[in-house]
Amino acid sequence: MLHAYPPAHNAGAEWAAHSLLRELVARGHAVDVLLSQPASAVDGYELDGVRVHPFRSKADPGRWMRGESRADVVVTHLENTARASILGELNRIPVAHLLHNTYDKSKQWLVKGSPQLVVYNTEWMRADVEAWWRIHRGDRPMPYGLVVHPPVAVDDYRASPGDRITLINLTEEKGAKVFYGLAERMPRRKFLGVVGGYGHQIIRDDLPNVEIVPHTPGDRMAKDVYARTKLLLAPSVYESYGRVAVEAMCSGIPVIAHPTPGLRESLGLAGAFCDRDDLDTWIAEIKRLTTQKEYPRASKAAAARAAELNPKAELDTWCQAIEGVAKRGRPH
């Protein structure tokens, strides 16, 4: 039970969820996605074997709550967590929560919803929730949880890097003002802005060295975005992980990022980190990374980090855990 889904909605949380669900399909399981937001698609569709059902009414989940179509497990995230948890409890179907952030609302539903499985997208996020739990719910055990970093298959995103300095998702929170500020102060550099799948997009057409392209489906990112990108910018004020940064590294594209805990975990030693309020440092880092001496080294480090994040082992753990929940109501 999710609110939106690729290819119409291409945010990191939705692609992370799809990566988990398509892995279950690859192992012989039936996966249906029920959308809670009205979508442009009138009919259902299939993506990598995952069957997606557009929203029609609030009664949509009933088909999977009972009878021959009764679900073995309900998987949910973000705004659907509350409803899915309640329906799971009422119909005695185990529920798995996918956690993409550390907001209090998400943590509170770990208590209210009592999920049989929690999937954190980073180690730092699991540590944050554990600390919160000790303070607020230390009298009861936490739900079983595991870490699955948003799976990114290198072959899905590999391209030959281009010549642009790119920002994906032009909101203030993702760093649009940093992006435009850099473009203003570096007029000889070419910049590429990609409209995001959510949030208020800041679009400027007054800078001749900036090109803005529309919201891009995940299966087009390699060809339409990363093949045009030399450096990726990630000046986000908050990132639980930073999936696009990992996608870019699949093509050996160096990433300059604000040092959020998530981006530090995803980029590791391959990342270059600058405070989003210090534009001078960003300019210096762009100049350094694009020299003939430094770029090949940074590109090689980025590609090596992407390969190091091979998701196979974590996907195996995810599948074993969800299969355990389906068969016995618990991961083991």
Domain ranges of the chain: 12-151+311-328, 154-308
Distance CA 61, CA 53 (A): 10
Distance CA 198, CA 65 (A): 31
Distance CA 18, CA 8 (A): 13
| Predicted confidence (pLDDT) per residue in 127-170, tens digit | 999 999 999 887 889 999 999 999 999 999 999 999 999 999 99
Residue 307 contacts residue 154 (beta carbons within 8 Å) = yes
Give CATH superfamily name and number for 154-308.
Glycogen Phosphorylase B; (3.40.50.2000)
- The arrangement of secondary structure in 12-151+311-328, i.e. its CATH architecture, is 3-Layer(aba) Sandwich (3.40)
The pLDDT, as a whole number, for residue 136 is 87
173 contact partners, CB below 8 Å, separation of at least 6: 199, 236, 237, 238
Instruction: State how far the alpha carbon of 252 is from the alpha carbons of 110, 167, 186, 192, 218, in Å.
Output: 38, 16, 23, 17, 18
| Predicted confidence (pLDDT) per residue in 77-115, tens digit | 999 999 999 999 999 999 999 999 999 999 999 999 999
| Predicted confidence (pLDDT) per residue in 257-297, tens digit | 999 999 999 999 999 999 999 999 999 999 999 999 999 99
20 contact partners, CB below 8 Å, separation of at least 6: 75, 98, 119, 148, 151, 315, 318
Which residue type occupies 2? L
The two tokens of residue 303 are: 């590609």
The pLDDT of residue 41 is above 70: no
Distance CA 77, CA 201 (A): 24
Which residue type occupies 227? A
Q: What percent of the chain has pLDDT over 90?
A: 92
Residue 17 contacts residue 76 (beta carbons within 8 Å) = no
The two tokens of residue 245 are: 């940064």
SS3 label, residue 55: coil
